[in-house]
Structure 1
Amino acid sequence: MDAVLAALQGQLDELEGLLAPLDADAWHRPSACAGWDVSDVVLHLAQTNELAAASARGDLARVADGWGRAEGTTVDDVAGDAVAAQRGTAPDEVHARWTASATAMVGALAACPPDQRVPWVVGDMAARTLATTRLAETWIHTGDVADGLGVTLAPTDRLWHVARLVHRTLPYAFARAGEAPPGPVRLALAAPGGDTWTFGPDDAPTVVTGPAADLCRVAGQRAHASDTALAATGPDATAVLRLMRTFA
């Protein structure tokens, strides 16, 4: 748990480094998240940080009031509505809210035993897994903000946790798409620091190789596998590249 929380804090710090010097105009630049400007992205992160903190405290039902999903809607629909309802909040207020929510989230997660089950939008999960999903989402949206600002960020070894999440949640990703679960899958990824990260059995019939950052961007719906250096072989290769994800 300490390792993933340290990675989460590092990712929050990287985003803060982008936000701290922004003037009001920069907050309203379009981000790489379709339809959202920088302020919208940070507002969304603040809202979902608050939910994660509440989940870790055992208070999600109260704080999540209004986040219920109507029939036929998706988690993305609900998140979009939540941002739209508070769009127009002054950038300094959005920034302050995000800062407070990030501190509260990390503190609440740190107080949880790693394997304690906590509620989330896709059902209960271990507190460690919730921390990892928050790392994955914060990383993706940090990239959205950076792209909007014209800043290039180098990937870091924090992505080990995200890549592991991608591998562990493959059965969920397939089930969400209404497809039968894949057979054993092995990831053999080039880490930003030059190492090789492997997940899955050595004899898995389906193998995905390539840069870890590419895998995480594809799983975060920010790139198509065909536009990256990822390669996959085996019976489930095409489906894995199409369905893997890091969010609900």
Structure 2
Amino acid sequence: MMDIAAAIAAERRELADLLDGLPADAWDAPSLCAGWRVREVAAHMSLGFRYSLPRVALELVRARGGLHRMTDRCARADAAAMAPAELAAALRDNARHPWQPPGQGIEGALGHDVVHGLDITVALGLDRRVPEDRLLVLLQRVTPRSLRFFGAALDGVALRADDLDWSYGTGAPLHGTAQDLLLLTFGRRLPPGRVRGEHEDRFVLTRAA
């Protein structure tokens, strides 16, 4: 079995190196997270390391109990306050941090890092390939419940990975790389041309890049 903690640490270090190499204008480019630029995604990725539990509780109160409001507000504030080098360092310096998304376990922590990393690299058109073993851990966790949790509307679609022996669902085939299909299971929309199938238009970004 894969050492998931080691995979998380490697993912964070690799993403930190990638962030360190981004040109200045890339930090203000839109990500796949609606309303967030690259810098907001990077800030959000390290929130669980940088905020104590009392701080999280305080921010939740300020957001009137809304978790999404809290994470959005904190990501925007931290992205404005922290330099790109600080955001990258927050990932690298906490590569072995044991934080996990509430109720999602260590696999959820891996998913958090992998998917938000793809939110950045896919949006920027960077050719980063997530290692196969990390993708398989996450793809094997796709269930109707997880799709509902992430707001992924995949009714009538059968996901078929071109580069891994993985498929999910029933209906009209939708082909793409495993990491692109993983993004769909997390409720993301993709740049044009990344998936192929009868219903591909349902999963394409409509906002300007």
Q: 1:93 aligned to 2:86?
A: yes
Mark the structure with the bigger radius of gyration: 1
> Which residue of 120, 131, 135 maps to 1:145?
120
After TM superposition, give the deviation of residue 98 of structure 1 in Å.
Answer: 2.6
Q: 1:221 aligned to 2:187?
A: yes
For structure 2, the residue ranges without an aligned partner over 5 or more in a row are 152-157, 204-209
Residue 166 and residue 46 in structure 1: after superposition, are their counterparts in 2 closer, same or farther (change >3 A)? same
Residue 42 and residue 221 in structure 1: after superposition, are their counterparts in 2 closer, same or farther (change >3 A)? same
Does structure 2 retain, via aligned residues, the 8 Å contact 1:214–1:229?
no
Residue 144 and residue 171 in structure 1: after superposition, are their counterparts in 2 closer, same or farther (change >3 A)? closer
Does structure 2 retain, via aligned residues, the 8 Å contact 1:28–1:38?
yes
For structure 1, the residue ranges without an aligned partner over 5 or more in a row are 52-59, 110-117, 178-186, 200-205, 233-240, 243-248
Does structure 2 retain, via aligned residues, the 8 Å contact 1:27–1:38?
yes
Identity %: 23
Provide runs of 4+ in structure 1 moved above 6 Å: none
- Structure 2 CA distance for aligned equivalents of residues 191 and 14 of structure 1: 24
1:57-109 per-position Cα deviation (integer Å, ceiling 9, x unaligned): xxx74352324265573x322210111232232222222223223x242xx37
- Structure 2 CA distance for aligned equivalents of residues 230 and 7 of structure 1: 32
After TM superposition, give the deviation of residue 133 of structure 1 in Å.
Answer: 1.5
- Counterpart of 1:79, as a letter, is T
> Which residue of 159, 164, 167 maps to 2:140?
164
Residue 132 and residue 67 in structure 1: after superposition, are their counterparts in 2 closer, same or farther (change >3 A)? farther
Residue 149 and residue 216 in structure 1: after superposition, are their counterparts in 2 closer, same or farther (change >3 A)? closer
Does structure 1 retain, via aligned residues, the 8 Å contact 2:13–2:92?
no
How does the TM-score come out when normalised to structure 2?
0.67
Instruction: Name the Cα RMSD after superposition.
Output: 3.8
- Structure 1 CA distance for aligned equivalents of residues 17 and 150 of structure 2: 35
- Counterpart of 1:213, as a letter, is Q
Residue 198 and residue 65 in structure 1: after superposition, are their counterparts in 2 closer, same or farther (change >3 A)? same
Does structure 2 retain, via aligned residues, the 8 Å contact 1:215–1:230?
no
Matched residue, 2:166: 197
After TM superposition, give the deviation of residue 207 of structure 1 in Å.
Answer: 3.5
Q: 1:207 aligned to 2:170?
A: yes
After TM superposition, give the deviation of residue 9 of structure 1 in Å.
Answer: 2.9
How does the TM-score come out when normalised to structure 1?
0.58
After TM superposition, give the deviation of residue 43 of structure 1 in Å.
Answer: 0.9
